[in-house]
């Protein structure tokens, strides 16, 4: 018999835990002999599309228990009654499972609903079935607006956060969606997963499908890497394939191209192979750009230097236009927000540049706040200077990226690799200690 958990790709540690839970629910006698009682409840939470419902249904199937599903798809008054009925039915058919899918949507979303009648009802129902062998399984996007009393141990013994897939998991999920589609070599799954880093499984699936639609519309026999990258750009950055600008000569297209080339160059010098794609596109009549990295460094930050590298990369855009045109362009708001966020966390959460005993901004003194602000501004300025120096040293590589980007509108990792081979690179400012 096939294992229901085989439907889950990746997420090995979570899958293992779900397998153990299913075993405990299925073979209660085995555990009872050891004097152990069956687990009572599990809450899976995480962003939309990361596989919570899939994991819950695999657990239900593997447990072989009858499940009573409760989703909010009816008016409030009927729903309260429905919740009670579901719990009653589950109790009368115990051992069983009550599956509360999207529990955080049970109450109205437009007000503070922590004390809503829906949550109170769920809580009462859980307490009422406590002595029965009913396992309460729930999924939710966010726990923020749910009452802590409902989430406490005893009601849900365990909560597991499901994050978007990353690394090998993301590549294997993309491979899975590519299966059965014409073409796509091994390396391409990695390219797609790279661009889509941080997004959900549902997004990966949609991007691959978009690529197929594009290929079909172009009467292409196969889905090419270009189709895949365009599908990803659409899902990950809302850049529609039709908006990519090719061969543009306008001033704003040039600014956008050199800005993105700055990000890409700095990223490639600090970490070769770290850029997955760059594009410039028409954004309601003016040119914009996106540089996408192989993986979101923020997930792997282990030391201060990693954050400094990330901020330097964010500053690469501004430094690129300054280097080429002698001006700082005004399209860098997102970069500055990202740099500010990173440096603030580094200073206040990790005391990376000195110990601040009141860490949270809301309870810091005005003097401490201004000290933190000053350190933050100085560090971002240093990162900007470092980005400028990296670009100056690698001017040939930088120019070549920008020129090809202007011509083609979209460059992928292997284009950058090829350009790099033709241009010498220097790494004097590689170490963040040079900052
Ligand atoms: N690990 C995975 N392996 C294979 N497919 C997956 C995985 N995770 C999710 N999927 C697929 O992605 C899609 C979305 O998954 P699912 O509906 O379970 O997400 P969710 O977290 O419940 O989303 P929501 O919060 O919107 O309810 C489904 O088609 C599902 O089969
Ligand atoms: Mg779901």
Residues 68-104 have pLDDT tens digits of: 999 998 877 789 899 999 999 999 998 999 999 999 9
The CATH classification number of 244-434 equals: 1.20.58.760
Q: What is the pLDDT of residues 379-435, one digit of tens each?
A: 899 999 999 999 999 999 999 999 999 999 999 888 999 999 998 888 765 555 544
Q: How many CA atoms lie within 13 A of 127 on its CB side?
A: 10
CA distance 314 to 342: 10
Hey, how many other C-beta atoms are within 10 angstroms of the C-beta on 215? 22
Between the CA of 8 and the centroid of ligand 1 the distance, in Å, is 9
Q: Say whether pLDDT at 147 is over 90.
A: no
CB of 54 within 6 A of ligand 1: the answer is: yes
| Residue in 54, 59, 178 to alter for ligand 1 test, most ligand atoms within 8 A of Cβ | 54
Tell me the angle at which helices 304-325 and 251-270 cross, rounded to the nearest 10 degrees: 150
CATH number at 4-161: 3.40.50.300
| Peptide bond before residue 121 is cis, with ω within 30 degrees of 0 | no
To the question of domain 167-241 being in CATH 1.10.8.60, the answer is: yes
Residues of the chain with CATH 3.40.50.300: 4-161
Contact 274, 417 (CB under 8 A): no
Average pLDDT, the chain: 86
In DSSP notation, 246-276 reads -S--SHHHHHHHHHHHHHHHHHHHHSTT-EE
Q: What is the pTM of this model?
A: 0.80
Q: Three-state SS for 9?
A: coil
Residue among 199, 187, 192 at smallest CA distance from 299? 199
Of residues 179 and 283, more confidence is placed in: 283
Residues of the chain with CATH 1.20.58.760: 244-434
Residue 91 to residues 87, 97, 251: CA-CA distances in angstroms? 6, 9, 69
Contact call for residues 228 and 184 (beta carbons, < 8 A): yes
pLDDT above 50 for 298 = no
Contact 418, 273 (CB under 8 A): no
Q: 167's torsion region: left (phi>0), alpha (psi -120 to 50) or beta?
A: left
Q: Is 48 in the pocket of ligand 1 (CB under 6 A)?
A: yes
Q: Which of 266, 239, 282, 284 is nearest to 320 (CA)?
A: 266
Q: Which residues surround ligand 2, an ion (CB under 5 A)?
A: 53
CATH 1.10.8.60 domain range(s) in the chain? 167-241
pLDDT of residue 299: 45
Please, what sign has the CA dihedral across residues 323, 327, 333, 336? positive
Does 245 have pLDDT greater than 90? yes
Q: How far apart are CA 327 and CA 321, in angstroms?
A: 6
From the CB of 52, is ligand 1 less than 6 Å away?
yes
Nearest to 201 by CA among 14, 9, 4: 9
Tokens 């549902």: give the residue.
202
**Of 12, 53, 59, 109, which is best to mutate to test ligand 1, by the most ligand atoms within 8 angstroms of its C-beta?**
53
- Report whether 22 contacts 69 (CB < 8 A): no
For the CA of 101, the nearest ligand: 2
Q: Residue for token digits 């990258």?
A: 229
Q: Which residue has the tokens 């009654």?
A: 81
Distance CA 242, CA 283 (A): 11
Given a contact cutoff of 8 angstroms between Cβ atoms, the answer to whether 343 and 307 are in contact is yes
pLDDT score, position 363: 66
Q: Output phi, psi for 73, to 5 deg.
A: -135, 35
Phi and psi torsions of 239, nearest 5°: -100, 110
């Amino acid at each position: 018999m096939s294992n229901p958990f085989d439907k889950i790709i990746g997420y090995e540690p979570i899958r293992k835990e779900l397998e153990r839970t299913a075993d405990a629910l299925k073979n209660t006698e085995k555990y009872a002999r050891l004097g152990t009682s069956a687990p009572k409840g599990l809450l899976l939470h995480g962003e939309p599309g990361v596989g919570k419902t899939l994991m819950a249904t695999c657990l239900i199937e593997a447990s072989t228990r009858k499940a009573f599903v409760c989703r909010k798809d009816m008016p409030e008054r009927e729903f309260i009654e429905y919740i009670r009925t579901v719990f009653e039915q589950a109790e009368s058919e115990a051992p069983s499972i009550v599956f509360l899918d999207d529990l955080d949507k049970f109450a109205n979303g437009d007000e503070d609903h922590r004390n809503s009648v829906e949550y109170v009802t769920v809580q009462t129902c859980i307490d009422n079935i406590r002595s029965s062998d009913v396992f309460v399984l729930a999924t939710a996007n966010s726990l923020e607006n749910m009452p802590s009393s409902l989430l406490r141990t005893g009601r849900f013994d365990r909560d597991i956060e499901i994050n978007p897939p990353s690394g090998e998991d993301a590549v294997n999920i993309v491979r899975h969606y590519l299966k059965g589609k014409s073409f796509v070599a091994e390396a391409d799954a990695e390219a797609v997963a790279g661009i889509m880093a941080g997004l959900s499984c549902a997004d990966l699936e949609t991007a691959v499908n978009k690529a197929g639609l594009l290929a079909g519309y172009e009467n292409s026999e196969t889905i090419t890497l270009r189709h895949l990258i365009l599908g990803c750009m659409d899902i990950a950055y809302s850049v529609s394939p039709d908006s990519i600008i090719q061969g543009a000569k306008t001033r704003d297209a040039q600014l956008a191209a050199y800005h993105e080339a700055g990000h890409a160059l700095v990223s490639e010098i600090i970490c070769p192979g770290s850029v997955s794609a760059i594009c410039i596109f028409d954004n309601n009549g003016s040119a914009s750009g996106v540089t996408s990295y192989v993986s979101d460094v923020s997930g792997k930050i282990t030391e201060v230097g990693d954050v400094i590298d990330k901020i330097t990369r964010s500053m690469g855009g501004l430094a690129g236009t300054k280097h080429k045109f002698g001006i700082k362009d005004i399209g860098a708001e997102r970069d500055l927000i990202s740099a500010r966020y990173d440096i603030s966390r580094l200073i206040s959460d990790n005391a990376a540049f000195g110990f601040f005993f009141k860490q949270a901004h809301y309870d810091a003194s005005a003097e401490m706040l201004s000290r933190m602000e000053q350190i933050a501004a100085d560090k971002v300025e240093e990162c900007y200077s470092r980005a400028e120096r990296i670009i100056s040293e690698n001017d040939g590589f930088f120019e070549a990226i920008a020129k090809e980007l202007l011509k083609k509108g979209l460059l992928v990792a292997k284009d950058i690799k090829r350009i790099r081979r033709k241009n010498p690179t220097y790494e004097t400012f590689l170490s963040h200690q040079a900052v």
